[in-house]
Structure 1
């Protein structure tokens, strides 16, 4: 200022001017400047002050806040009678969404700090910590919990013992990849051991030998079962409309769903035509289902009694479970990349020569139980190109790959992530979810919203808030210890109504009923 403006100030006044510039507080007595050079100097100081401010914020301040410990436990809402999830190696959000949809309170313990923080930031009740550590379990309020779910692999036993030390009355459900660990886990206090690979393998095996034979666990009540009928390409039912099948006019059978052209229809329309490998899901008394099975047990329709030539690709836990679940008269050919006692063809299932060596052209069904989704999808596409008529049943890990599996050529596909979430939801929510493994979900709900209507009217629509174009169907009602499926049965307010539908449609229905 002395040189450019001929304005004399002390060194202390000059220092104050520079500080005013750097802190962007303004000048007051010194502005406006008159010479170009003084204006340029002030502009330079202003820009450098802003640059230094941003640099300090980015390099020093923000990292300092990031390094500040954030206690995710402080974000938890008060807990009581809740579920503590001790690690979950599947898709965490899929399970947590399932629990929240059912109104179940929970805390997820995740040892991965980034994943726990991501879930917490997304609004889920998650904390970071070691589920083997007593302090972490206390942060999850394990003492007030009613159920613990463990999916910690080799650490499951340690987690269970530490959890029981803090809550002796705690129920425990453990996930394991190997059913050989079931007995050991049960001995230390695990109430239920779940092996998703085994359950899905068995499910696919039952699908590979089609008919009305019902897999274990699909009973709705003592008097009613859920059966599946699969129509082969050579069946006389091929091309007929649903209303022309033996299931449509039987009053004690409810036609729940149909897989037609790879699309789930709940319920199928009377005019829908059955295509090759279409699957019809029905519910009714076992003897009536047997009668329906006998009605379609004609040449060209395979039933569970017919011999099958089944190829099982992958002999891991799920593949072995599928092999064990197949009937004794089925001719089984096992494929694996490793040579084992139960393996018939050693090779890559993604290689056409391997599938040809296993007899894909003559096989009635191919069960794809490999661990890698990409390999499974490739095997499906190759098998479909080599044998147009073979029934392909596949297991995939990620839920989003189910639709891709159908597009690749699969006739039936199950997701480990979705099936596991459903199984756990059933255990947490009692027996509300009847059949959690398959694509169709059956749940029990209150009969009051349907009161005064017959089963036929409830499915056809009427003047209630529940009437809409939705993918769900009323299967029947539980009353006085009996399960009724007759279409003329009038629903009473205190009945328990069994609904079948997709995850989305059942969730929407439950939200509608709740309001």
Structure 2
């Protein structure tokens, strides 16, 4: 019975397509060789009158088809034999190509590929141990900033695909020390983990190999931050909560001013370029905000990326947020004069509507100031929303009084639902500020078309956060990153404010000056002895500014 079962296994019906192809190839090759051997045997006897044995005929056929030679039989006298031999030659070439395609090439394709051989020499690099989002978005961001990395991917097919596309990716289990060693973990400076419940195991294994390793971990919930910190994670990030907080800040909160600045006449504020703004496509350097004599353009957010300072050649598009410093009255005047630009400050009576009370929506609600009324929407009564219902239905939005709200923050989990909610809200309340989160970076443009004013992509934000962390800058925390401080004006005495602002490469800029209790921000004002200057910039840039002042 066992022998019969084995015979059944080689039945053509049980063969794979490749096995069937190889079988047909072999049968065809043997049949052609036998046919040519018989014809050659007959031709040499009947046409050439030079009889050969069947084995001599077989040998000549093989020599001819493999183009290795023709032995002592060449040349042939009759036209028919010459045509026949030529046919064998051509047939041999064709069979050679078929052999490559059917046997040789598949053989090499099945040879195991060692992706490690494609890695460049690593030192002080980033090791990415699993990544649950769009991996190429992250790797493209790292490569754009010339950050060296290795991705350790447990899915063999995905690792090979990324490696074939030119990324520094290898296949392996990041929980295994040997596989981390293949990624040169002992020479790495930073470990990125996004492995859900496997995170603790990966981090502990990596720190055994390199105790000086900095570790960033993506987590689904902020509730795990304490546990991750206990095992050695330097920074844990809950992307949904992070973006929820950021959307809330965009809707309500101007950038903070350092406590060292007591004057209320100078402020830093974010101004959102809305989707219907006439400034679309305008260069930053040509915008009224950049050219205002009393205002200083400190920085700009372009699709969630902070550029400090903003380049004059950058184009203003939906999602652009300009960080402007100067007198509050001047900022208010410019904001109201330029159609389509709305100041993020809320009136005392205007409410904010938050759609989706998951991790992101909850974080957004918690980020709003206490004096801002918030109405929440969710389909699940378990999260205790103010309105229980589908945010894509007009009845739900009307119940939340969307027409009276100043802003709508959309943090639902599904991108399709988010896009429909944005479109529905825009049709009901044309003037409401709509800020939304999407998971897929490619859905950001669709969200704008649906009517959103500001969109953050989880994939893009995570990628940029990782890239920024390599440099020690938390680019997603602008409220804590940009400061306004007083400084000694001695190094700038004799210069006008416009001259003091001209150097855009240093990361800080002179906003104005204080003289005898009066604030001057006009760019033509000349700095005199005894003046104090207001300087805006990141914490790192302001440290460099203080070094400049102290060394002068």
- TM-score category of the 2 structures, normalised to the smaller one: 0.7 to 0.9
- Contact 2:65-2:93 within 8 A present in 1 as well: yes
Deviation at 1:289, TM superposition (A): 5.9
- Match of residue 222 from structure 2: 179
SS of corresponding position for 1:361: helix
Q: Is the 8 A contact 2:229 2:235 kept in 1?
A: yes
- Give the alignment partner of residue 282 of structure 1, picking from 303, 323, 345: 323
Contact kept in structure 1, 2:500 and 2:510, CA below 8 Å:
no
Separation of aligned partners in 2, 1:353 and 1:32: 95
1:164 maps to: 207
Cα distance in 2 for residues equivalent to 1:302 and 1:279: 13
Cα 1:278–1:156, aligned 2, differ >3 Å: closer, same or farther? closer
Helix, strand or coil at the partner of 1:303: coil
Correspondence for 2:345: 303
User: How far did residue 13 of structure 1 move?
Assistant: 2.2
Asked if residue 249 in structure 1 is aligned to residue 272 in structure 2, the reply is: no
Higher helix proportion, which one?
2
Mapped partners of 1:422, 1:170: distance in 2:
20
Q: Distance in 2 between matches of 1:455 and 1:124?
A: 47
Shift of 1:227: 2.5
CA contact (8 A) 1:117 1:127 kept: yes
Rounded Cα–Cα distance in structure 1 between residues aligned with 2:46 and 2:150: 70
Whole-angstrom distance in 2 between the partners of 1:64 and 1:150: 37
CA separation in 1, counterparts of 2:447 and 2:178?
44
Question: Is 1:407 the equivalent of 2:452?
Answer: no
| CA–CA distance in structure 2, aligned partners of residues 325 and 123 of structure 1 | 41
Seen in structure 2, the aligned counterparts of structure 1 residues 151 and 258 have a Cα distance that, compared at 3 Å, is closer
| Whole-angstrom CA distance in 1 between matches of 2:129 and 2:319 | 40
In structure 2, how many angstroms separate the alpha carbons of the residues matched to 1:423 and 1:117? Answer: 26
Q: Distance in 2 between matches of 1:176 and 1:497?
A: 33
Contact 1:85 1:149 in 2 (8 A): yes
Distance in 2 (alpha carbons) for counterparts of 1:231 and 1:497: 21
- Secondary structure of the 2:107 match is helix
Query: For 1:406-461, what per-residue CA distance to the aligned partner results, in whole angstroms no more than 9, with x for missing partners?
Result: 12211111111221112111211123xx63478xx99xxxxxxxxxx99847988x
Call closer, same or farther: CA 1:3–1:340 in 2, change over 3 Å.
farther
Quote how far apart the aligned CAs of 1:279 are.
7.1
Question: Of 147, 153, 158, which aligns to 1:110?
Answer: 153
- Give the conservation status (yes or no) of the 8 Å contact 2:271–2:344: no
Residues 1:64 and 1:340: Cα distance change in structure 2 (over 3 Å): same
CA RMSD of aligned residues (A): 4.4
- Contact 1:475 1:498 (8 Å CA) reproduced: no
Determine whether 1:484 maps to 2:527. no
Deviates more, 1:413-422 or 1:24-33: 24-33
Output the TM-score relative to the length of structure 2. 0.68
Match of 2:234 among 162, 184, 191: 191
The partner residue of 1:329 within 335, 355, 371 is 371
Residues 385 and 212 of structure 1: CA distance in aligned 2, closer, same or farther (over 3 Å): same
**Alpha carbons of structure 1 residues 29 and 383: separation in structure 2 relative to 1, 3 Å:** farther
Structure-1 residue corresponding to 2:248 = 205
Q: List alignment gaps of at least 5 residues for structure 1.
A: 234-241, 443-452, 461-472, 491-495, 500-515
For residue 474 of structure 1, give the secondary structure of its aligned residue in structure 2: coil
1:151 aligns with 2:194: yes
Stretches of structure 2 that go unaligned for 5 or more consecutive residues are: 1-42, 276-285, 483-494, 513-522, 528-534, 539-552
CA deviations 1:280-328 (Å, max 9, x no partner) are 62344xxx56565676899996624534322222222111111211233
Q: For the pair shown, which has the larger CA radius of gyration, 1 or 2?
A: 2
CA contact (8 A) 1:257 1:268 kept: no
Sort the Cα spacing of 1:298 and 1:63 in 2 relative to 1 into closer, same or farther, 3 A. Answer: closer
- In the alignment, the residues of structure 2 paired with residue 484 and residue 107 of structure 1 have an alpha-carbon distance, to the nearest angstrom, of 41
**Structure 1 residues 301 and 65 mapped into 2: Cα distance closer, same or farther (>3 Å)?**
closer
| Equivalence for 1:435 | 475
> What is the deviation of 1:53?
3.7
Number of matched pairs: 443
Larger displacement relative to structure 2 (44-53 or 54-63): 44-53
